Amino acid sequence: MHDTVKVGREHIKLVDKVKYDKANKVVEPSWKVGDQVLLQDNSIKPGSSRVITRPRFVGPYIITDVVAVRPDVRRAYRLVDKNSGKALRHLVSNDRLKRYDDNRQNFNRRLPSLQVDPRLQTTPTVVGPRQRRPQTPRPIEILSDKRIAGKRHYRVRYTDGQVYDCDWVNRPLLDHY
């Protein structure tokens, strides 16, 4: 009886796998020894200030070994850092790998919109001694003041001609008012 249940369970697993693979368009991994890959890294160090903008993939790594112990278990890969030559301690599954291609000519050929036409490049404008830089507006005078929720607010005219509401002004401007 136990053997029958075991065979039935294995059959159900196989049927579920076939349905899942068909529904999700699963493709068998084609990684081979010598391929250059990037490794997905979802870990966030405690106290890190770069939670959202952290790099999602690290590397590049080179695949040095493909490990397939049993036919019912997917393959795992042994990686070595391309720059340092240091091997990773643990094996990595296929779903954490991304192909890495450092050939920039192929990259530029695939993405021509990123190429910059040399005729359209402009030289940066150099500010010389006779040219004036645009200045930030400075406060000229306090027009009025009032209290809102116990705090003083001022209407201040600036050098650009605009009038702004301010909740703080500097001491010389206050003395002049």
What integer best gives the mean pLDDT of the chain? 79
d(CA 137, CA 36): 55
Task: Assign 130 a pLDDT band (cuts: 50, 70, 90).
Answer: low
Residues 173 and 152: their CA atoms lie apart, in Å, by: 14
pLDDT of 95 > 70? The answer is: yes
Residues 67 and 73 sit within 8 Å (Cβ to Cβ): no
pLDDT digits (tens, 9 = 90+) for 13-63: 989 988 988 888 877 778 888 888 998 887 777 877 766 677 788 878 988
Q: For residue 109, which amino acid is it?
A: R
What 3-state class would DSSP assign to 2?
A: helix
**pLDDT tens per residue across span 99-117:** 887 766 666 666 655 455 5
Supply the pLDDT for residue 11.
92
Torsion of CA 103, 80, 35, 53, to 10 degrees: -60
Could you please state the CATH topology (level 3) that the domain comprising 32-42+50-102 is classified under: SH3 type barrels. (2.30.30)
Give the pTM: 0.47
- For the chain, what are the domain ranges? 32-42+50-102, 139-176
Alpha-carbon span 82 to 37, nearest angstrom: 10
